Structure 1
Amino acid sequence: MEGGEAKGRRRGGLTVFSQEYYAVCAFGGMLSAGTTHLAVTPLDVLKVNMQVNPVKYNSIFSGLNILVKEQGLSFLWRGWSGKLFGYGVQGGCKFGLYEYFKKMYTDLMIVHNQTMIFFISSASAQILADIALCPFEAVKVRVQTQPHFARGLFDGIPRLYAYEGLSGFYKGLGPLWARNLPFSMLMFSTFEHSVDLLYRKIIQKKREECSRAQQLGITCIAGYTSGAIGTIISTPADNIIASLYNKKAHNVLQAVKSIGFPKLFTRSLPVRIALVGPVVTLQWFFYDSIKLLTGL
């Protein structure tokens, strides 16, 4: 586990746990999260509309067909700036701070329970990352589901502020934490344990003894596994967020009542699995690629 390494150890010209080390991790997280979320913007547009209007958009293929037919092909890329910049900022905070908190909690804890360290490190990082993401997410959801609201971030941010004030940007922060905290905790923990298991039981080699291709292959397998598990857990909160931001409900309890408790777990789940699984896999692939290229 990286958190247990001696402070000051150098890798590829960088001192582990130095400011430069955390900067590389943050940059890797920002680049990997921003670009991968940008790439799947059409699926995200469909997902949000399925959550807001499940009767009209009741499946992946018919939903895409309706959106393209009624709004045009370019509509599938609405909200791209919120995806790129919002999730770029979130990814930089999430991955960079995760590495920082993992080292900090490892030093603080007398008994080193790896799963507990993974949980509290990812939760601490995610809380701060979501505060950074929330304004971008608030504008993005409105842009994707309300065609006349705004074209993107630059006109959407001042318009949202004019309509709802500062509180409009953070209306969904609680549900965002409810979605992303369990997702992040399971994602990081599942990824770390999956990587360890694959090296010990499947490859039966130490990471340093494997080629870069083998290391990145392990990353992809563990990344997809962690993304799929996190998606199932976080779907109810994701549906609530879409309902709140589109004024289908004024509070969480009203959103749960209008959606229906069973549908909280099933609405948009197939498209979320199709969306989140590859995104998380690519995020880990790009993130670990950057760490490999910099000698980490």
Structure 2
Amino acid sequence: MEIMDRRELADFLRSRRERITPADVGLPAGPRRRTPGLRREEVAQLAFISTEYYTRLEQARAPRPSREVLAGLARALRLSDAERDHLHHLAGAPPGPPAGPSIEVRQSILDLLHRLPQAAAIVMSATYEVIAWNDLAAALLEDFSALLRHERNLVRRVFLPPHPLERRLYGLPDADAFARTAAHHLRAAAARYPDDPEVVGLVAELLSGSEEFAQLWASHDVHTEPTLRKTINHPLVGPITVNCDVLDITDRDQRVVIYTADPGSPSEEALRLLSVIGTQRMDVPG
């Protein structure tokens, strides 16, 4: 353990708190707000700690925070990876690997999704949770904004589908191949995040609810060949064949999946039609 620098920690927490607006974390600004950024009690609430303890941290009077407290503060204050590491060093607790998969998407990646108007694109976490998407992806696959967070997980979607078998995974004829790939990637993610309750819970849910997943899990395989081309049977416009390219975001353990159609193909025309249909029938944030 390193030496805790209480004064630097207090100043760092205060500076991070003051840069965040209530709107950034979904809180109302309210009248008579005298302090820039968040109030101390708001940070404490978001970090699941007492206001008294957080106040003592900012006054350089608190004992060393636990790793659980530091993780809560990092989430509440929306710290970057570098800031999270700095927080741990100031608290005298050298940072370890992230407890769980990151679901925070960099703004530059969100901007990239919007700059791909002729391509459907999503961002997935290490556990196949869809954490960002553009309008065309919502029209091609599903209106993710209308789903609860746990329903946006594609591993859960393929093994515990809420739809008829023919729509197991958006009508993909190779849904079985996707299932194998997803199970193998999830095993690797579970090894990277062995203490994350969401990862542990997801694996337990799949093991108890899907014999197919249980068999794949028992194989202990962690590598599969990528699928570079898919055909999606869309309920409105029919089959759409797309190229599937994956860009790894290694520092966040995330992947950007981009679906494009061959130029001049019927599938390209179908994507163009979907871009119009999608914007007319759903309101999907990027």
TM-score norm. by structure 1 comes to: 0.24
Q: Which has the higher contact order (CA 8 A, sep 6+)?
A: 1
TM-score norm. by structure 2 comes to: 0.24
Name which one, 1 or 2, has greater alpha-carbon Rg: 2
The structure whose residues are more often helix, as a share, is 1
The structure whose residues are more often strand, as a share, is 2
